[in-house]
Chains A and B, each alone.
Chain A
Amino acid sequence: MHQIFTVANKEFHDGLRNRWLVSITLIFALLSIGLTYFGAAASGAVGVASLSTTVASLASLAVFLIPLIALLLSYDSFVGEQESGTLLLLLTYPLSKSQLLLGKFIGQGGIIALATLLGFGASAVVLYMQIGDTAILSTFGIFIISAILLGLSFTAIAYLISLSVSEKSKAAGFALITWFLFALAFDLALLALLVGVEEGVTQQGLTQLMMLNPADIFRLVNFAGLDSSDVNGALSVAINASLSQMQLFSALVAWVVLPLTLAIFIFKKKKL
């Protein structure tokens, strides 16, 4: 435990030193406060938009940004240390591979989690002061927790990439592809399936397919509770057959735990 904490502490401080925490928090805060105030601009008014519009726009943005940020933050965690020779050195210390991996995960995950909490929390506070509705807190609570889980999930996926390749530049390439597949291509493919193939997939089947993408689970979590007027596309179909919030959160947690377990497994098999 002491070892995990030492590694986590170092990784967290690296995140502070490299201005990751500050930049992510700023991006999230600016975006969410901006969307909160100007989200209604499309309908011709400036001012605080409705809660569901705000959360819908926030979630649509977060679903692209958070995976990208998590992948950027963590793609070189292992391959970078391998290239500089410190990975081999660390493994001669009384430090197991799973301790090192979990330590890194806690440290870097901590950066993502804290930035998400501070950044989006800021707009929750602003909105609460303007409207004073307690529904804001619960809606934002769900949004922030699912956003954190989404970030952690892509941190774990980044470790998978980082442990599977032997060059930093390759890891960067794979991270970009992974982001493209999960954030963009997957939904387009679903839409194509839905529109192009008649009777190709049932509503139930679609929802199950969406469980294969943590970004879509995140969307489902946040859109399920909103007025369906704010949501369109493949999602609105899925939402009607939606699973319970509990099931969706379990699926997101699984998307954190499974890649992480797989990463530990790959690390143990890795040839140094």
Chain B
Amino acid sequence: MNTPLVSLIEAGKTYGQLDALSAMTMSLNEGEVLGLFGHNGAGKTTMMKLILGVISPSRGKVEVMGMAPDSKEAWNCRSKVGYLPENVSFYEQLTGLEVLTYFVKLKGFSKAAGKKLAVDLLEQVGITHAMNRQVKTYSKGMRQRLGLAQAFIGEPKLLLLDEPTVGLDPIATRDFYKTVDQLKSNGSSVILCSHVLPGVEQHIDRAMILSTGKLLAMGTLSELRQQAALPVVIKPLSFKKGGLNGTVTQDAILNSFITGTCPNTLLVPENEKLAVLKQLLSLNDLDDIQVESANLEQVYQHFLSAHELSEQQLSGNNKTNGGQG
């Protein structure tokens, strides 16, 4: 068993009175893609800063590649870490190529090798046509691509991307996820931080949901689904006159899953899904079945609202401090 690339052991960060990140334990293995989800001020950026070693934990321990990222020994590891900040406007008066060349040199590349690498990276993110223009003429999406090119310098072992798809058009988003998949297959680990959820599901191995500095849930998508115990939505369809209504309600097993609000829909717990499907398939009038498992967005909403509910109950007794990061 190899050691995890990143591990947080009871690590947390407080700014004065403010609990930006409560003590949490997590680990990230090589070649793993972790999605980090939460509202603004949930502690996502604080967690990234801890892993990057820009700030030191107030308590607990952070380890990246076996070292504390804020220590002197971790210095050499830094060229193996890529980071895309949430809000970055690069040096406006420089051209895209000049900006990237500067960052490439700071990652330790020589002048000649650096220039070539910078051009290659700009090609990878698709802004070679604008590389000799000043950054101030760039659109939001082009700036974002420049930021991504910067994060990809030197084939990083660990990538931390804060809202990477903001401002990207659908094609650029698809290209971006392709790059993430490619980096993953090369053994790089990625932490994706986002509140844009659709589309991200099939690219992440695990998800982590944060709110007001607290870890609400962590696990693979199916684990989270199980924890949330959200029902599967099954819609049996029939094209015949009269539909299925009669047959389904007459069935003793199926009847119990019908909800009052939408008569043609069954809400079935994950573990009874197959039993219900088998039962449905035995019906003669059935033409089609739609099966929808809860998606990431619904899981996310579930955990957040459950958290808010418990917060409200707490603040009924004593006032809790709402944190932000």
Contact = CB atoms under 8 A, between A and B. Distances in A.
A271 B272 CA distance: 52
Interface string B76-92: 10110101011111110
Given A17-B93, A18-B93, A89 B88 contact: yes
A18 B49 CA distance: 33
Given A14-B93, A272-B49, A85 B88 contact: yes
Contact of B76 (A85, A94, A272): A94
B90 A92 contact: no
B106 A93 contact: yes
A92 B52 contact: yes
Nearest to B87: A85
A94 B54 contact: no
Interface of A is mostly: helix
Nearest to B102: A10
A2 B105 CA distance: 9
Given A92-B83, A94-B78, A3 B90 contact: no
Contacts of B83: 89, 92
Given A84-B90, A86-B90, A94 B49 contact: no
Contacts, number: 59
Q: Which 4 A-B pairs have the closest CB atoms?
A: A85-B88, A94-B78, A84-B89, A92-B83
29 contacts: A3-B106, A10-B102, A14-B91, A14-B93, A17-B94, A18-B93, A84-B88, A85-B85, A85-B86, A85-B89, A86-B91, A88-B49, A88-B85, A88-B88, A89-B83, A89-B85, A89-B88, A89-B150, A92-B52, A92-B83, A93-B78, A93-B79, A93-B107, A94-B76, A94-B78, A94-B106, A94-B108, A271-B15, A272-B54
Interface residues of A, number: 21
Interface of B: 15, 49, 52-55, 75-76, 78-79, 81, 83, 85-91, 93-94, 102-103, 105-108, 150
B103 A93 contact: yes
Nearest to A6: B105
A114 B55 CA distance: 37
A95 interface: yes
B77 to A, nearest CB: 9
Interface centre among B81, B85, B93 (most CB of A within 10 A): B85
Contact of A90 (B75, B79, B94, B106): B106
A91 interface: yes
A130 to B, nearest CB: 41
B106 A95 contact: yes
